[in-house]
């Protein structure tokens, strides 16, 4: 068994144009003051990191990590969520996702996709330069508009989508192997990899690639009415990253999983700050410890009600309170009578 590292904080929801969220030095000091020991970095945010320089310069990475350590936190992982999303975009979402890309490739899906692939490659190379063995990402989606089978899906539609998705990601997974870095896909609605079944469909198509792994976030499973504890046992060998995020699901006679296009505050399923939702984190941290999870517990703050800075500070303490320092001996070792093979055989009646 292993003790989970943490608490860490995903900085994507906090980076901004005002201090202390507008620079790497200031935001890492703030995170440490909140009680965090690590930070997960959104690699697309130029206010915090120069991704191209990080991919090409070990000296830059050493300096980058040095600033964080001096301020009291470690870099837990890099995230390429937004770039990964653009590796595969259905045309229905072209305009909606254009804002994730660099200005020079917007309005040009082919150029945007090529840019996204290169960005993910850079994030993998930067992770290698930082000595970090995992990177977070999204898979993107080609089949998502056809999630609910009405009208009836034509035979082969989903299979073709997953074949293409695997074709786009396989070279990146091979580059990840060269870098010694796992790609941890956040299993998330809006992505073709949105539950265990779809992850398995993709995994099969990339040849059970060793670098194809999962980012576990129970909030997305609760809102799909999945068993988020059983998921840990099923995929324990592929779960290499952990977002600690709470949620609640309160269906009514008027709305359920789809929530009638309502804003977040009015939805049946809502993300909440840690401790304010329904997720059993005591059971999750127990399973993570028992299953030898060797990564960080990283808070991803998303809440439709609470102020983010309050959620961040409360989240650090929440994770501290849930991390299990695993035991190095069995509780009944005091009654150990020692090992004697002959005595064991006599006790079994086979001596």
Mean pLDDT value across the chain: 96
Phi, psi for 342 (deg, rounded to 5): -65, -40
Q: How confident is the model at residue 335 (pLDDT cuts 50, 70, 90)?
A: low
Does 76 have pLDDT greater than 90?
Answer: yes
Distance of alpha carbon 174 from the chain centroid = 20
The pLDDT value recorded for residue 260 is 96
Rounded to an integer, what distance in angstroms lies between the CA atom of residue 97 and that of residue 99?
Answer: 5
Q: pLDDT (tens digit, 9 = 90+) per residue, 152-207?
A: 999 999 999 999 999 999 999 999 999 999 999 999 999 999 999 999 999 999 99
Is residue 40 within 8 A of residue 60, CB to CB? The reply is no
Does 351 have pLDDT greater than 80?
Answer: no
Per-domain boundaries in the chain: 5-347
pTM: 0.95
> CB neighbours of 309 closer than 8 A, spacing ≥ 6?
none
Does 293 have pLDDT greater than 90?
Answer: yes
Is residue 298 within 8 A of residue 241, CB to CB? The reply is yes
Does 331 have pLDDT greater than 70?
Answer: no
What superfamily does domain 5-347 belong to in CATH?
Answer: Divalent-metal-dependent TIM barrel enzymes (3.20.20.150)
């Amino acid at each position: 068994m292993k003790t989970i590292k943490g608490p860490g904080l995903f900085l994507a929801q906090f980076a901004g144009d005002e201090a202390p969220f507008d620079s790497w030095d200031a935001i890492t000091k703030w995170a440490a003051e909140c009680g965090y020991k690590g930070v997960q970095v959104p690699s697309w945010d130029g206010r915090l990191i120069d991704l191209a320089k990080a991919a090409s310069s070990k000296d830059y990475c050493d300096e980058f990590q040095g600033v964080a350590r001096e301020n009291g936190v470690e870099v837990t992982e890099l995230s390429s969520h937004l770039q990964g999303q653009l590796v595969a975009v259905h045309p229905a979402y072209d305009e909606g996702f254009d804002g994730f890309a660099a200005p020079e490739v917007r309005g040009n899906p082919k150029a945007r996709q090529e840019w996204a692939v290169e960005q993910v490659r850079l994030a993998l190379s930067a992770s290698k330069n930082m000595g970090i063995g995992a990177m977070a990402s999204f898979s993107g989606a080609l089949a998502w508009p056809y999630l609910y089978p009405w009208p009836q899906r034509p035979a082969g539609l989903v299979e073709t989508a997953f074949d293409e998705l695997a074709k786009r990601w396989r070279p990146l997974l091979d580059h990840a192997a060269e870098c010694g870095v796992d790609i941890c896909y956040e299993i998330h609605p809006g992505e073709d990899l949105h539950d265990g079944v779809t992850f398995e469909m993709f995994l099969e198509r990339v040849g059970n690639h060793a670098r194809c792994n999962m980012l576990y976030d129970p909030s997305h499973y609760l809102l799909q009415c999945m068993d988020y504890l059983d998921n840990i046992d099923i995929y324990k060998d592929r779960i290499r990253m952990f977002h600690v995020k709470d949620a609640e699901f309160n269906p009514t006679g008027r709305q359920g999983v789809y929530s009638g296009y309502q804003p977040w505050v009015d939805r049946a399923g809502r993300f909440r700050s840690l401790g304010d939702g329904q997720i059993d984190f005591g059971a999750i941290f127990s399973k993570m410890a028992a299953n030898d999870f060797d990564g960080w517990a990283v808070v991803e703050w998303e809440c439709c009600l609470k102020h983010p800075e309050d959620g961040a500070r409360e989240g650090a303490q929440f994770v501290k309170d849930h991390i299990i320092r695993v035991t190095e001996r069995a509780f009944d070792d005091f009654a150990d009578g020692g090992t004697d093979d002959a005595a064991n055989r006599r006790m079994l009646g086979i001596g």
